[in-house]
């Protein structure tokens, strides 16, 4: 089976070596086009006979990238394919983003929310909830570090943030 480039791009990675067994769906070549990465995968189980490109090569749409001979992958390749995808697992980097967002939410700021409510006021997030439909407003402020890094550590800045949501398209 010939594996061809679905579009023009630059080869940035090669996933398997020749004579290596591959499973259907395994990434054979990774192409970059317009600053996006795209995996070119094996359509069926087999053995990679040869790779026709090298990292750094620029390829045209339809150009031959690799040849996969039909066959059964080894037991080790079958286990690698099964272990590589865990749809329920949360990666460490995603967990860090989720935690970063959670620090500034009203649920994590009981004292600040109680102080506003005691003065008869509402939080900015409560006001936004009345202004926009659920799911249409996305905060990106928790992902930004203040320019105060010269005076305060990131940990201190993170612990004292979240007074207002950072938004550009809705007045706060």
Give me the helices (H) in 54-168, please. Answer: 75-84, 92-103, 110-118, 124-131, 154-159
Report which of 81, 75, 90 is spatially closest to residue 41, judged by C-alpha positions: 81
- Would you place residue 98 in the very low, low, confident or very high pLDDT band (cuts 50, 70, 90)? confident
In this structure, what token pair is assigned to residue 52? 């026709």
Cβ-contact 21, 73 below 8 angstroms = yes
State pTM to two decimals.
Answer: 0.46
- Give the span between the Cα atoms of 161 and 138, in whole angstroms: 17
Fold of 2-84: OB fold (Dihydrolipoamide Acetyltransferase, E2P) (2.40.50)
What pLDDT digit, counting tens, does each position of 25-43 carry? 899 999 999 989 999 999 9
pLDDT at 172: 47
pLDDT at 97: 85
Mean pLDDT of 123-138: 88
| Domain definitions of the chain by residue range | 2-84, 92-159
pLDDT at 146: 64
CB-based contacts of 126, cutoff 8 Å, min separation 6: 106
- Would you place residue 155 in the very low, low, confident or very high pLDDT band (cuts 50, 70, 90)? low
pLDDT at 80: 53
Cβ-contact 128, 170 below 8 angstroms = yes
- The overall average pLDDT reported for the chain is 82
What pLDDT digit, counting tens, does each position of 58-97 carry? 999 999 999 999 877 655 555 555 556 677 888 888 898 8
CB-based contacts of 73, cutoff 8 Å, min separation 6: 21, 22, 23, 45, 46, 47, 81
pLDDT above 50 for 140? yes
pLDDT at 27: 92
pLDDT at 141: 74
Report which of 64, 38, 60, 41 is spatially closest to residue 51, judged by C-alpha positions: 64
């Amino acid at each position: 089976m010939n594996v061809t480039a679905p579009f023009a791009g630059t080869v940035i990675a090669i996933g398997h070596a020749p004579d290596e067994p591959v499973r259907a769906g395994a990434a054979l070549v990774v192409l970059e086009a317009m600053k996006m990465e795209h995996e070119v995968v094996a359509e069926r189980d087999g053995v990679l006979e040869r790779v026709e490109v090298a990292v750094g090569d620029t390829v045209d749409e339809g150009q031959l990238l690799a040849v996969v001979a039909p066959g059964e992958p080894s037991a080790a390749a079958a286990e690698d394919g099964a272990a590589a995808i865990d749809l329920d697992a949360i990666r460490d980097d995603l967990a860090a983003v989720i935690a970063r967002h959670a620090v500034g939410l009203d649920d994590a700021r009981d004292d600040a929310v109680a102080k506003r409510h005691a003065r008869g006021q509402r939080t900015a997030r409560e006001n936004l909830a009345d202004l926009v439909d659920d799911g249409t407003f996305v905060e990106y402020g928790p992902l930004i570090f203040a320019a105060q890094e010269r005076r305060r550590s990131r940990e201190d800045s993170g612990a004292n943030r979240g007074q207002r949501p950072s938004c550009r398209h809705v007045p706060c």
